[in-house]
Amino acid sequence: MTPERGPGMEADSATAEGGQLRLDKWLWFARVVKSRTLAAGLVEEGKVRLNRERTTKPSQTVRVGDVLTIAVGPRIRVLEVVAIGSRRGPATEAQALYVDRSPPASAAPVQPGRAERPSGSGRPTKRDRRQIDRLTDPD
């Protein structure tokens, strides 16, 4: 006797057992984003590539062996899917779903005409501003 589907059971649970899962759900399970809505928005904005092809459908299926290229904030992450999750568990469980193949983060290029200072140092003080003015003053 097979159990009937109740109103709370999703069709995705059956496909997760078969080795595939919705892209937005996998991104949420893997903790790439904080919510499934944000995951769907990321995909719809075209910031996710599945096996080097841009996808805009959150319902696209992900399988083991697929490679996802994701533009999250200023970083580009390359994740190889090694497992299909069954729930959004703790971070250690989420990290077991993928292998991170992202290139190492490089320093941002310095734009010409801008003074370089350590990130997070805040706005320049009056003294800093005077020194900058002396350097940039053509006289």
Quick one: 20 exposed, middle or buried, by C-beta within 10 A (0-12, 13-18, 19+)? middle
The token duo for 25 is 């759900």
Q: Is residue 109 very low, low, confident or very high in pLDDT (cuts 50, 70, 90)?
A: low
Q: Give domain 12-104's CATH number out of 3.30.450.20, 3.10.290.10, 3.20.20.10, 3.40.1360.10.
A: 3.10.290.10
Q: Is the dihedral of CA 64, 69, 73, 75 positive or negative?
A: positive
pLDDT at 125 over 80: yes
pLDDT at residue 14, as a whole number: 42
